[in-house]
Structure 1
Amino acid sequence: MNTTSNFYQGDSPALQYIGSWGASLWDNRDMYQMQLHLLLASLFPIYIGAHAALRRPASALQPKKEPSTDGDDDEIDLEPAIEGLRPSDAIMFPVLASITLGGLYLLIKWLNDPSLLNKIMTWYFSTLGVFGVGKLAGDSLHVMSSFIFPSVWSDGKQLYRVEPEFQIQVTGESSRNQPHRTITEKKNPLPSFFSSISFGEATNTKLWSTRALLKNHWIFRGYLHGLLNTKLRVTFHDVAGLALGLVAIIAYNTSGKAWWLTNLMGFGFCYGAFQIMSPTTFWTGSLVLMGLFIYDIVMVFYTPMMVTVATTLDVPIKLVFPGPKHGGMLGLGDVVLPGIMMALALRFDLYLHYARKHLQHEQKQKALYIEATGLWGERFWTSSSKEKNVADAARFPKTYFKASVVGYVVGMLTTLVVLNYFKHAQPALLYLVPGVLISLWGTAWVRGEMELMWGYTEDGSLDDGEGSEELTKEEVEKKAEERESRRSKEHANHVFLFSLSDPKHDLPKAKLVDGEKEE
């Protein structure tokens, strides 16, 4: 070390500073690695959750439903149930959070030993965690299968489309105006050079069957007389994800609450929250964040409640990171609350994308919406393609979302710098809220879209119903009564029923391939 110091003394001041800074960075490398881990772990659920929460914007046309042959299968509502926030929530959120935090703080002080409280809350959150982790695991399996069995892929010259009905791969346009396609010699459903591997007929059949198992949906029916009557579409990924979620929760409660299992549960909670919660409007979300901004400052700096509860309760309501000096942690609220605004920003980007398509092409009606979620594999395998394909639905400008990510990263880095400087727990929302809100509203101001952003809402008022079936209130109620009557007759002789069945399918429609009609 003395030799190094003498070396620095003989150099210029700039080199001395760089050398001392590098030595300090090396000496504290464990701390910086932990903080980098914290930053990436906070961005991970926001990024994937925001993309999973994409849905048809009001600026796009609702695709027409294909007639179903499975009874009332087509009446299954696939739109997620979204809990929209209201301006009053800007007051209620901090108030309810304060009451909850204060109650937990007093309970901890009264009990002296929080082990019983920890057990109760752990099992409560574990029950919820089965579904949160299950949803995350199921969607992750879907993404992985899209890399193995994409619906389209490209070699840079041609675009190949997989036709599972006929167990072939074809090239050529898939539009109605150009139905002629060319059958390739590829016999398996795999992409890229894997498609050229000459497997045996039995292996190819198994590959197509595996693809069908992963891609097709089933119908889940649940009936309990007087209590439950439901019907849902599920996939293999949903069932496998739920099983993995159950395994993860059991492992969490039997393995000493490993930090990575705690974080897995946290990811599941955040991922699910982004898909069921929306600020509805940017100004409502901004009010809610500002209210919680003040709440976080008061609870961390002016009361011992936040730090006491966070460090005493060993429950999966935070992200934990191993490292020097007891490691680090980040509350899930510091991920979810800014994250729902960032997810709203991504949906706003999608709304602007379809609105611009409508204006640029001067169409009489809105552009037809194409599902933009779950296309990670198709995007990867068609990155070199110049032909239009289904993966293009996920390739849209994400200006506001990227701006919010930059604001979140700046806010998180500021939190870590201040934390290292003052050596005291910091309210992350103190830095994250300004970072996210300034980046979003600042971007709108620079682009001259303040009025558009202010008027954007997800309460349904922007959807004029173009291209969709308009129903009166009486017609909606009548249809609901007819559906309920039909379901009651379906379960007339049942007291208890849970089933998982393959829906009925029509025979493949005739297609034109190489100019010849194939049935």
Structure 2
Amino acid sequence: MVDQDLLVSYVALFTLAVIPIYFGAHQSLKPSKVEAMQAKDAYMFPVMGSIVLFSLYLAFKFLSKEWINFLMSGYFMVLGIGAVSAALEPFISKIVPYKWSQKKTKKEVKFTLPFYGEVKLSYVDIIGGFFGLVIGAWYITTKNWVANNIFGECFSLVSISLIQLGNFKVAAILLVGLFFYDIFWVFGTDVMVTVAKSFDAPIKVVYPRATGFSLLGLGDIVIPGIFIALMLRFDQHLAKKRGGKNQKLYFNIVFASYVVGLVTTILVLHVFKAGQPALLYIVPCVLGSVILTAVLKGDVKELLAYKDEDLIAKKEVKAEKAE
């Protein structure tokens, strides 16, 4: 039997995970200038992640936790301000004067930063940055869990909307690599759990309960999220190629599969009362569901041949014509 306090924390973490994935995936349908990840990047991602993770573990083991968290909190606060601004941009653009949000007429402020150069900020960026600054000040002065979660949600949403995996093959390499990465660092060592508990920065979403906090790392949201976003774009590609309405078949299936994987993680966590590598349960669910669906629908060749660049290029041409 799960007590009410613990149940609420589980539901809260579940909700905090699925919201940025759903909205970030739909935001990813807009044209992006970000270059798609290459296969070599996907192969190296778990390696670089391991180096960073173990470096943090050593730093917490031999250096002052207070100073490390002070420096990293400041660093993530700056990043968080930008993430909040980017996450709010679609909403702010709808309420400010029309010409402020249009490419040809939007108002900009230009200034020069030492060691960086000229910076251009639109009025929409400045308004979003103001909200980000308020939340950043709230977080850095109080370390309030709500402020932490706002940053975490914005980080996740913006990352999912911007990071392009490029194609299914790259996505599969990344997911399988991180599947083993997560298992090794959680079950093979105490590194992942130690860093997660020691690192006082918005790299996780948390929810308070009587005996402390329940937490979920942003990687368990963002990594599956960018794959789910890829499948939504694949759905759009199929709809355009076949001249039909976008049924979001692959998106709905992989999104539901993520839910199953996340719920499984929570159930195993509750039963064994020990930290779990969420990707151990999530990756087989999301990757397996897509492969099975493609086999049943006869879309395997189409899935393997799909490239984000083709869809993005068409969107950019359409956007240019609209302007």
Shift of 1:332: 0.6
State the match for 1:507 in structure 2: none
One-letter amino acid of the structure 1 residue matched with residue 55 of structure 2 = G
User: Tell me, what secondary structure is at the counterpart of 2:209?
Assistant: coil
Shift of 1:89: 2.4
Across the aligned residues of Structure 1 and Structure 2, the Cα RMSD in angstroms comes to 2.6
Say whether 1:353 aligns with 2:203: no
Separation (CA, whole Å) in 2 of partners of 1:268 and 1:51? 14
Shift of 1:323: 1.7
1:107-148 CA distance string (max 9 Å, x none): 11112x3000000000011111110011112323446x4xxx
Distance 1:227 1:455, change over 3 A: same
1:412-451 equivalent positions in 2, closer than 5 A: 412-451=262-301
1:87-106 equivalent positions in 2, closer than 5 A: 87-106=39-58
Larger CA Rg, structure 1 vs 2: 1
Separation (CA, whole Å) in 2 of partners of 1:327 and 1:247? 24
Shift of 1:350: 1.4
Separation (CA, whole Å) in 1 of partners of 2:317 and 2:68? 54
Distance 1:465 1:336, change over 3 A: closer
2:23 aligned to 7, 26, 48, which one?
48
Asked whether the 8 Å contact 1:137–1:242 carries over to 2, the reply is no
Unaligned runs of 5+ in 1: 1-23, 56-78, 146-209, 361-394, 469-519
Distance 1:445 1:116, change over 3 A: same
Say whether 1:397 aligns with 2:262: no
Distance 1:311 1:465, change over 3 A: closer
Asked whether the 8 Å contact 2:99–2:106 carries over to 1, the reply is no
Asked whether the 8 Å contact 1:274–1:339 carries over to 2, the reply is yes
Separation (CA, whole Å) in 2 of partners of 1:114 and 1:239? 34
Say whether 1:301 aligns with 2:202: no
Shift of 1:462: 9.3
Separation (CA, whole Å) in 1 of partners of 2:178 and 2:238? 29
Shift of 1:213: 6.9
Asked whether the 8 Å contact 1:138–1:239 carries over to 2, the reply is no
1:281-296 equivalent positions in 2, closer than 5 A: 281-296=167-182
- Which of the pair is proportionally richer in helix? 2
One-letter amino acid of the structure 2 residue matched with residue 136 of structure 1 = A
Separation (CA, whole Å) in 2 of partners of 1:445 and 1:309? 40
Separation (CA, whole Å) in 1 of partners of 2:169 and 2:38? 10
Shift of 1:335: 0.6
State the match for 1:264 in structure 2: 150
User: Tell me, what secondary structure is at the counterpart of 2:33?
Assistant: coil
User: Tell me, what secondary structure is at the counterpart of 2:32?
Assistant: coil
Separation (CA, whole Å) in 2 of partners of 1:126 and 1:229? 22
State the match for 1:247 in structure 2: 134
Separation (CA, whole Å) in 2 of partners of 1:54 and 1:351? 11
Separation (CA, whole Å) in 2 of partners of 1:40 and 1:335? 11
Asked whether the 8 Å contact 2:26–2:161 carries over to 1, the reply is no
Shift of 1:40: 1.0
State the match for 2:321 in structure 1: none
TM-score scaled by length of structure 2: 0.89
Shift of 1:465: 11
Separation (CA, whole Å) in 2 of partners of 1:346 and 1:218? 30
Asked whether the 8 Å contact 2:148–2:202 carries over to 1, the reply is yes
1:361-380 equivalent positions in 2, closer than 5 A: none
State the match for 2:217 in structure 1: 331
Aligned sequence identity (%): 36
Q: List 4+ stretches of structure 1 deviating above 6 A.
A: 464-468
Distance 1:130 1:461, change over 3 A: closer
Distance 1:461 1:336, change over 3 A: closer
Separation (CA, whole Å) in 2 of partners of 1:214 and 1:465? 22
One-letter amino acid of the structure 1 residue matched with residue 131 of structure 2 = L
One-letter amino acid of the structure 1 residue matched with residue 75 of structure 2 = Y
TM-score scaled by length of structure 1: 0.57
Asked whether the 8 Å contact 1:83–1:276 carries over to 2, the reply is no
Q: Count residues in correspondence.
A: 315
User: Tell me, what secondary structure is at the counterpart of 1:426?
Assistant: coil
